[in-house]
Amino acid sequence: MIFRSSRPAPAKKTKSPGVETPFEARRRELAEQENSLKAATKRHEQFIEKAPKIAEKIQKEQRERFIRNAAQIDSRGSRGEFRLPDNRYLEADGMALPRTRRRNRQQGKWLFFLLVAGLIAAAFWAWQMLVMPTY
């Protein structure tokens, strides 16, 4: 009570209810973002719980499809074989087969041979023109 003044304290300003300050607007936006993130998190958690069941269902369908295809009789009248798809060349460049790659290697070898032969011919021509005495 020693430091109290005799003057009354200034009255706090009251805001009109229709005007929103930038701070309140930002707080409202953050609350909306938080609510949307919580909803998305809940959806993702539900999907994570369901994912193993979905994967198992897909595998079962694939297995049944392979077995059904293997059991069918083909056009020649013989039973189809149970074959899994060949995925060996899928990582590379899609349609490239080992034979095409071998052809490219052979072309590369011939091109190298021709370039070396051209270099030797150019070196021989330069030696004849520059080093050999002319008569």
Q: What is the mean pLDDT of residues 104-125?
A: 93
Q: What is the mean pLDDT of residues 74-81?
A: 57
Q: How many domains does the chain have?
A: 2
| 5: in domain | no
| 70: in domain | yes
Are 31 and 68 found together in one domain?
yes
| 38: in domain | yes
Contact yes or no for 76/94 (Cβ under 8 A): no
Contact yes or no for 108/116 (Cβ under 8 A): no
Are 33 and 67 found together in one domain?
yes
Element (H, E) at 23: helix 22-71
Tens-place pLDDT, residues 10-68: 767 666 667 889 999 999 999 999 999 999 999 999 999 999 999 999 999 999 988 88
Contact yes or no for 81/67 (Cβ under 8 A): no
| 75: in domain | yes
Share of the chain residues as helix, strand and coil, in percent rounded to the nearest 5: 60, 0, 35
Measured distance CA(67)–CA(82) in Å, rounded = 7
Are 67 and 116 found together in one domain?
no
| 48: in domain | yes
| 14: in domain | no
Highest mean pLDDT among 9-18, 87-96, 113-122: 113-122
Are 37 and 58 found together in one domain?
yes
Are 127 and 101 found together in one domain?
yes
Last residue within a domain, chosen from 55, 82, 109: 82
Are 77 and 27 found together in one domain?
yes
Residue 62 lies in domain: 21-82
Buried b / exposed e across 64-81, counting CB within 10 Å, b at 16+? eeeeeeeeeeeeeeeeee
| 7: in domain | no
**Which pair of tokens denotes residue 21?**
């300050």
